[in-house]
Amino acid sequence: MILHMGVRTTEPVRVAYKELSPDEDEAPAVTELLSVLIRQNPYQYGVYDHSIVVHYDPPGTPNRRRELMIPVSRPVAGVETKEFPSMRGVFLVFKGTDKTMEEYYDYLREYIEQSSLVASDEVHSMEIMYVPESVDEQDYTMEIMIPLAG
């Protein structure tokens, strides 16, 4: 189910990050990075409410470049941190599994075409997974974004 869709500009944000190898599974990488962050800040367990995967290349590209990022408020021992820049993009927030990720990306590409916008050559896409409010919740809220040129 689509919750929001449109164009927005993100704020610059400090992130802990890890470069993912081309075929590396994202879920274990998120768990590993979160465990380091939580060990550093055991009393701020709820602070890490989402993870971001930035795809610099389209899926299927040999040696595709991807980075896993988790927003942090300050440098953290044991992990690389950097300032991720502001970005303007077409975004879509959804919940549930009634459509595939590719179908949601099709909505964004159609929106870009109908709005005469141009996708960025530098970053292919971004995916943000928000931690559910309840541990028992099955449907995660996801946001996908295609950054725009300019």
Task: For residue range 12-64, list pLDDT tens digits in order.
Answer: 999 999 999 988 999 899 989 988 888 877 555 556 678 999 999 998 899 99
Summarize the confidence of residues 133-140 as an average pLDDT: 63
- Indicate the class that CATH gives domain 2-147: alpha beta
Summarize the confidence of residues 92-105 as an average pLDDT: 93
Q: State residue 138's pLDDT score.
A: 64
User: Model-level pTM?
Assistant: 0.88
Separation between Cα atoms, residue 121 and residue 124, nearest integer Å? 7
Separation between Cα atoms, residue 115 and residue 108, nearest integer Å? 10
Across the strands, what pairs with 148? Answer: 119
For the chain, the domains span 2-147
The answer, yes or no, to whether residue 133 has pLDDT greater than 90, is: no
Q: CB count, 10 Å around CB of 91?
A: 20
